[in-house]
A and B are shown apart, each in its own frame.
Chain A
C-alpha cells in the first residue's frame, strides 16, 4: 500500500482535541433536536426520567434508544430488547474496525474511551478528516457529540413543551444533510463512486424487494449493504485506490 506517510504535525494533544470538538459541531447541531425528540417521546410514554437520562448517558446510540423505549413500553421481553439493540448496533463493529486502522498507537484505556463514542455520525466525520489519525482529535469529536446528545435529552425531558412542531420536523433532515455533505465531496474517485452506488442499490433491493416479505431492521440492512458494497469494492479495485 503506497499510502503517503502522514506528516507528523507539531500539533499538541490539546489542540488536536479542540480541533476534534470543532469538527464535531455539525454532529452536535444534528443531535440536539433528535435527543430532544427522544426525551419527549420517552416522556410521552411515561418512562421514568432517570431511565431516559441513563439511556443517553450509558447507551449513547440514537436508533436503539428510540426503539428501546418503544419496546419497553410495548412490554417486550428483555432479551428481545437486548438482542434488537445488539443487532442494531453491530454495524459499529465495521466502523470501529475501520477506525482501528487509522488511529496512531495509543493506550488501551484511551481507545476504550474513544470506542464509547463511535456512532454513525462521529465515525463519518472522523473518516473524512485527515486529523483523525490522532486519538485526541477523535476523542474531542466524540465528546462534543456525546455532550450534545445528553444536553438534548435533558431539554426534551425537562424543558421542551413549547417547541414549534414545524421547527422540530425540519430538523429531522439535519443528520442526513450531514451525511450527504460528507459523502458528496468524496465522489471524485471512481472506486468510491462505484462503492457508494452499490451500497444504495443494495439498500434499494433490501428496502423494496426484501423487507416487505422478511422484516429487516435498519441496522441489519445497513450492515448487509456495507458488506456487499465494500466487499465488491475490495474485490474489484485491487490497487490502492480506496
Chain B
C-alpha cells in the first residue's frame, strides 16, 4: 500500500514536470521567430492529432463514433455554442447505439 502510494507520487511528479518547466522557464526567454511560430501552430496541431485516430475508439462501434463526430462537426460549422456541439455529439452516438 505504501509502495503503491509512492508509485502514485512518482507518476504525479513525472506528469507535473513537463507541465511546469516551460511555464517557469520559457516565459522570459526571447524565443527565435521560428519557435514562436511553431508554438502558435501547436494548439491546432494538437487538436487535430487528438481527434484522429482517437475518435475511432471513442465509443463501442466505429459507426456511432463516426456519426457522433459528423454531428459535432456539422454543429461546429454552424458556430453554435461549444456545449451544444458536445451534447449533439453525445446524442448522435446515443441514437445510433440505441436504434441501429
Contact = CB atoms under 8 A, between A and B. Distances in A.
Q: Is the interface of A mostly helix, strand, loop or mixed?
A: helix
B61 to A, nearest CB: 9
A171 B94 CA distance: 8
Q: Is the interface of B mostly helix, strand, loop or mixed?
A: helix
A9 interface: no
6 interchain residue pairs of minimum CB distance: A177-B89, A181-B85, A242-B40, A184-B76, A199-B48, A127-B43
Nearest to A127: B43
Contacts of A82: 7, 10-11, 14
A150 interface: no
Interface of A: 1, 25-26, 29-30, 48, 50-51, 54-55, 58-61, 64, 68, 72, 78, 81-82, 85-86, 89-101, 103, 105, 108, 111-112, 114-116, 118, 120, 123-124, 127-128, 166-167, 169-186, 191-192, 195-200, 202-204, 207, 218, 221-222, 225-226, 229-231, 233-235, 237-238, 240, 242
Interface of B: 1, 3-5, 7-12, 14-16, 18-24, 26-27, 31, 33-55, 58-60, 64-65, 68-69, 71-73, 75-77, 79, 82-83, 85-86, 88-94, 97-98
